[in-house]
Chain A
Amino acid sequence: MTILLADDDEADRLIFKEAFEEMDIGTSVETVNDGEELMQLLENSEYEDLPHILFLDINMPRKNGLECLKEIRANKKYKEVSIAIYSTSSSEKDMHETFLNGANVYINKPQDFNKLKKVLEKAIIYANMYQSPPFNKENFLLMAE
């Protein structure tokens, strides 16, 4: 499973990377520093090189997670890509908005590393299930906290 993570905070990028690596469930992770970079990388990727799942920080400079989500969901090239949005606030408005705009996963990001690892693992296992029938990708909605 290939993962692309967008977060402007270097410490957070490292923490996420470490959490994914410690899971040991065959994931490869790339990171970018903000939404602009993310969109550029996606645009330059061939269809078969697109990541399986994106993890986007909701708050980023230049282009935030929600803006990226809307752009990605408006483009057919990315229809197979699952999208997880995470935030440190437990704002119901944010959660509603991310789901309504086509996100698959909303993560209320825990501060504790072990909890974070568990939450991410859940998202990955779930995304993996939706790669094959009888799971219908349309139904992939998950709130992880």
Chain B
Amino acid sequence: MTAARIMKADREPGNWLAHGRTYDEQRFSPLDSINRESVRRLGFAWQQDTASTRGLEATPIVVDGVMYTTSTWSRVMALDARTGELLWRYDPGVDRSWGKKLCCDIVNRGVAVWEGKVYVGTLDGYLVALDAASGKPLWRADTLIDRTAWYSITGAPRVVKGRVIIGNGGAEYQVRGYVSAYDAESGKLDWRFFTVPGGPKGPFEHEELAIAATTWDENSDWTGVGGTAWDSMAYDPELDLLYVGTGNGSPWPQYVRSPAGGDNLYLASILALRPDTGRLVWHYQTVPGDAWDFTATQHIVLADLIIAGERRRVLLQAPKNGFFYVIDRATGELISADNYVFVNWASRIDPESGRPVFTELGNFRDQARYVFPSAAGGHNWQPMSYSPLTGLVYIPARDAGWVHNVQGDKWFTWGVDNVEELSRGQEIPPMRGYLKAWDPVKQALAWELQMPNIWNGGALATAGGLVFHGTATGHLLALDDRTGEVLRDLFLGTGIIAPPIAYSVDGEQYIAVMAGWGGPAFNTLGGDEALLQYGNAGRVVAFKLGGGEVPVPAQIAPRGPFPPPPDIQASDEVLEEGRTLYVMHCGGCHGMYGSTPMLPDLRRLTPQKHARLAARRCCRTCAA
């Protein structure tokens, strides 16, 4: 793998050389032997166990018949892409005490491969280079500026011009975001771009921070104001611009974080950086003064579109905030934006200023507000896909709201007993997941497929006229890219959140995907049917034409009755303290009011229990 190869990755349809296959991150495969006609013969090729029962989010990389992928705790595997045979594995030995620092599961979204080396970012903040042939570590760099802060790495590195680019997560826990570039050969730190200032008067590590500081209250809580670059990047070699999406403000409420207001640069922004120097060329902030966890870290796609008769070099993003953005990627100028899911925090994006027009429905300074989209986003990290053949972007999307309040101790609609009141006067849609086919030129929905859960997989479009998409309920679907018609439905028995890929070896096309459901527990409320029936045995599964029956894991024993709880008595006051602490420290992983397998399995509830639950402080919108 070299710079020349990765720049021309499009000429190697058999390989999946980079995270989004090519630097433009379209996640479109030119392979077409698996197509609308032949897909009915798609079957099982091979699978490999990942020794995990939690979320798997990786995009595998395939280079010349070898697949490199990751699983929980930042572990890496190299496989024979024809057979799934294990070639080597590497366990970075992540400190298990790091688990509590993860908002959203012990996940990893994949490796980068470059000139005989494999790069992985670990949950505990190291960037590790491995020998691609043997899996032996070559160097390890500590990317964290403060090991006591709650930083983590879940994102995949990208390699651009001999530099490994890596960000981090932690903006739920008051860290300061930055992205770093390391020399791919030596592991030496080359440059670092902080996405937010560390204080009102500096020191400013680079000049862009002096400008950013003017958009913050001097009396901000400077512990660490967020803006972490935890997922998306793309690169345009012609413009020589590296695009990086930045995250939410920390803590979420702006009137706590930066009480006097301000845009709070560079939160929730798309940054265009020079890969040689890390200097900022332009930025576009999607949500000035973010207060709703509206990250702009979602997948960035680069494409050339004909807009108003003119060929435009654009950047496409459907960030959490619910608007689909088409941006001129040379200048950062907004071309258009429209909402792809139900949105109530802003009425529109003003085309002149490029800024959102805020509504009062998002202002939770004085009262709780039921804000759409939720912190899970209209779209989250699950990558979308752009097909140049249909001109459509396929977005794993959801309609869901979130009750924001000053205390921040009530998540989602759980524990909130006045959702009806907060919904008054609004046409609130049902909570639902979708795969949406979006026309970026018309800013219009072409088709959508309703999903049985709000938390499903990423998308892959191919030249075979297909879109592949995995579900929380353990199905891999092949859809007609023009209509959304389901042409093939393969049941794996294990929920999917990862994006599928396509590759070929020896002339045979494969589709592969990581199967293993997980993520933040607020997204795993009910609907986790596959996990409850079949466990959640993580694996990578590959498919080919003429393949066999897909093996489904053995069903697990149904859950027995609840064990008798111990005789612990506590006052209402203590229980309320316990509830608040539980939400803050436990619920992110174990689930609000329990854990994933315990959360109301809505299929099992009797009408009596529904009534009983509805009368309690339990998910009113679900039970309704």
* Co-assembled chains A and B: no
Interface residues of A (CB under 8 A from B): none
Interface residues of B (CB under 8 A from A): none
